[in-house]
Amino acid sequence: MYARQRRKVRFVLGALLLLFGFAAYQVGLHFWGLHHYRAALAALGRRAFGDAGAHLKKSLAVWPGELSVRLLAAQTARRGGRF
């Protein structure tokens, strides 16, 4: 009986560890994208369109469907002369 409970506890702990790892990865990915989005805004303030485009490309890798990021990337490309 004790071995069966031990196995269940190990299974639950392993599942919680996997769940925690996945959640930490998703949170880290979100903040990585947010960092690059803010860096792109700062680069646009300096009128460094190439740098802003590179940062926005990384943000789009995290949020490919986010319309505000897509619009800003399109505006940045247009301002940089890449239609």
Q: Can you give 23-47 as a three-state secondary structure string?
A: HHHHHHHHHHHHHHHHHHHHHHHCC
- Domain of residue 32, residue span: 2-79
**pLDDT given for residue 2 in this prediction:** 81
**pLDDT given for residue 1 in this prediction:** 64
Total domains present in the chain: 1
Q: Is 14's pLDDT higher than 70?
A: yes
Of all residues in the chain, the percent with pLDDT exceeding 70 is 98
CB–CB of 59/33 below 8 Å? yes
State the average pLDDT over residues 31-47: 96
Q: Is 63's pLDDT higher than 70?
A: yes
State the average pLDDT over residues 7-28: 96
- Name the amino acid, one letter, at 5: Q
0.75 exceeded by the pTM?
yes
